[in-house]
Structure 1
Amino acid sequence: MTTDVGDRLVDGYALVVFDLDGVIYLIDRPIPGAVEAVGRLHAEGRPVAYATNNASRRSSEVADLLTGMGVPARAEEVLTSAAAAAELLRDRLPAGAAVLVVGTEALRAELRAVGLNPVSRADESPLAVVQGFGPQVCWADLAEASVAVRGGAIWVATNTDPALPSGRGPLPGNGALVAVLRTALGRDPDVVVGKPEPALFTTAARRAGHGRALLVGDRLDTDIEGARRAGLDSLLVLTGVSDAAELLAAAPHRRPTYVSMDLSGLFDPAAVVRVPGEAGGWSVAERDGTLELSGSGRPLDALAVLCGAAWSVRSARIRAGSTQARTALAALGLSG
């Protein structure tokens, strides 16, 4: 197996499905090159979709946000865990049923849109609790949810991302808030809707018809695992949460098909590699439980070779065996 992708990666797929945070933007600012990459796909007439675990905005709001960044997007192209959670509860509960919401107004709006009644207190007899990320979620919200779940309400989490990317580094995500309730209740949610559950991706993939869909994400534990569970190829971009060190330590169910530093890998065969892979110029030897990289070449090729070695011997300890290797490891954010 080689690391050379050959033709443009995007040409092998009928649909490109993007995660948002860490791929297209960080919080509310576009990642360098993302606007241009999506614009190029639109210019070529290629369909795209966006799948996000973020439940703090409605699909229409996400589309407006993208459009404001220079990425024209329609609400129907956006798949959010908030909308998916609302649809799941619509199918399980009577029309007009009360649902206690831990999250933002966007999550409440999605519930109203499917005919359910969002409430804030356990004494309003909710049949379910839906928990999504919201920067204003506080102890009182979690306390009401705890009382409702102990009283028999179904507990649905939009996602369990432990952190979300930001310009200041990873910050606590919905998974951290779910963990608070998990600790208090002594059990897991009844249902988790978002990634790595495959629902968002399988819904998006159906839009590709008989063609293949490619998932582009920045997290191994949600995007890549979710893509694998949905049977999709995936591209990990190193612009968000997961880095090269995490990739080398990845379990089999969290290993991507391809890796690129950013979205340029969709179009430039020299900017993307298949992992694991072998490439002329680089070699890896195991010495005393450490993988020693030697030779020269592109840093991404070095990463592909290292993935093959690390995944085979289950060791992610790396050191450089040459000056060129030291430079490549530095470019990848790996000590050596």
Structure 2
Amino acid sequence: MSGDDLAGGYDLVVFDLDGVVFLIDKPIAGAPEAVERLHERNTAVAYATNNASRRAAEVAELLTGMGVPARPAEVLTSAGAAAAVLADKLPAGSPVLVVGADALRAEVTEAGLTPVESLDDEPVAVVQGYGPEVGWRVLAEASLAVRAGALWVVTNTDRTLPSPRGPLPGNGSLVAVLRTALDRGPDLVVGKPEPALFTTAAALSHAERPLVVGDRLDTDIQGAVTAGVDSLLVLTGVSGPADLLSAEPGRRPTFVAADLSGLFRPAEDAALPLRAGEAGGWRVSRDGGSATLDGSGDPVVALRLLCAATWDGVAPAAVSGASDAARELLSSWGL
């Protein structure tokens, strides 16, 4: 390892996928090159995704087709993790009602359990993951099964999925349907922000210093904080500058960058928060419970400076701009 840049301080980089490496089926600009650079430096790479609609081999094939070489062993999915949890809890062959895509059914089968679709099959558990074809009928069967005593396990609770057209309903939105019908939450959530995917990736790679890279504060970053590892938020997916400014302590990343190119710049250029008060052409001044941004320059530098103020008690709504560039930037962030 080399400490010359951010990535050089770590022996494993764990990437989220949607919003970090690709959007739906297209790579994010610079992502293939970033992964290739890590491979060239012999830095271990892993992919941890909450999306339960593809199996590890399918994800690896998808990535490779995008110019991001990946092996199935490098991919950890919430579908595989959920099936493994159920296999630990239930006798072999137990009937499990699957709400989700074919990939989740395949993982349940491979784990030695029996996927079913109806309450008539007497399921002892319900496993729920994202699937674009999930509809009312299977949700109704799942509701009945849980009411009858079945264990309810969900792969993740991401409310949205990133897409080129904007955020789309994710598994968390589908879980909310059952949550409303049942008037209670799931018995177990397997994927991020639970730390299991990250700790498993580190164990498989024998990594002592992993770095998590994600685009969501409520899953990727919170999961990293829970796992006790450093994290980098990239602004290519769901969570934006306004979200970062108002982030709770348990959802605050170690670093922030516009995209994956930040991995190959000095760590001090991405570290959070930036308490200097002035850097890169920007200046932040505080007056009691308010803060003012002045100057111009790289938006990420301004964001890092402002995090020092908002994480120290200034409400994001109490941040104003003193220059045209500052006012335009804050407006673009929705402030």
- Shorter-chain TM range is over 0.9
Amino acid at match of 1:182: R
How far apart are residue 208 of structure 1 and its match? 4.2
Inter-partner Cα distance in structure 2 for 1:210 and 1:240: 27
Sequence identity percentage: 63
Q: Which residue of 2 aligns with 1:334?
A: 333
Structure 2 unmatched runs, 5+: none
Q: CA RMSD in A?
A: 1.7
Work out which of the residue numbers 140, 151, 155 in structure 1 matches 2:152: 155
Q: Deviations over 1:251-292 (max 9, x none)?
A: 110000000000000012389411111343433234585421
Q: Deviations over 1:149-199 (max 9, x none)?
A: 011100000000000101111011000000110110011100000000111
Q: Which residue of 2 aligns with 1:316?
A: 316
How far apart are residue 7 of structure 1 and its match? 2.9
Query: Retained in 1: the 8 A contact 2:6–2:267?
Result: no
Inter-partner Cα distance in structure 1 for 2:266 and 2:207: 25
Inter-partner Cα distance in structure 1 for 2:211 and 2:68: 19
Amino acid at match of 1:137: V
Query: Retained in 2: the 8 A contact 1:100–1:126?
Result: yes
How far apart are residue 327 of structure 1 and its match? 5.5
Correspondence 1:238 to 2:272: no
SS at 2:270 equivalent: strand
Amino acid at match of 2:203: R
Amino acid at match of 1:305: L
Q: Which residue of 2 aligns with 1:298?
A: 298
Query: Retained in 2: the 8 A contact 1:302–1:328?
Result: no
Equivalence map 1:1-336=2 (5 Å) = 7-209=4-206, 211-269=208-266, 272-279=269-276, 280-281=278-279, 282-287=282-287, 289-317=289-317, 318-326=319-327, 328-329=329-330, 333-335=332-334
Query: Retained in 2: the 8 A contact 1:132–1:158?
Result: yes
Q: Which residue of 2 aligns with 1:3?
A: none
Inter-partner Cα distance in structure 2 for 1:272 and 1:117: 51
Query: Retained in 2: the 8 A contact 1:261–1:272?
Result: no
Query: Retained in 1: the 8 A contact 2:290–2:314?
Result: no
Inter-partner Cα distance in structure 2 for 1:278 and 1:155: 45
Tell me the TM-score normalized by structure 1.
0.94
Tell me the TM-score normalized by structure 2.
0.94
Query: Retained in 1: the 8 A contact 2:12–2:207?
Result: no
Aligned residues: 329
Structure 1 unmatched runs, 5+: 1-5
How far apart are residue 93 of structure 1 and its match? 0.4
Amino acid at match of 2:333: L
Amino acid at match of 1:321: A
Amino acid at match of 2:293: L
SS at 1:181 equivalent: helix
Inter-partner Cα distance in structure 1 for 2:182 and 2:330: 44
Moved more, 220-229 or 297-306: 297-306
Inter-partner Cα distance in structure 1 for 2:327 and 2:80: 46
Inter-partner Cα distance in structure 1 for 2:239 and 2:113: 37
Query: Retained in 2: the 8 A contact 1:220–1:255?
Result: yes
Query: Retained in 1: the 8 A contact 2:99–2:142?
Result: yes
Amino acid at match of 1:68: G
Query: Retained in 2: the 8 A contact 1:266–1:272?
Result: no
SS at 2:81 equivalent: helix
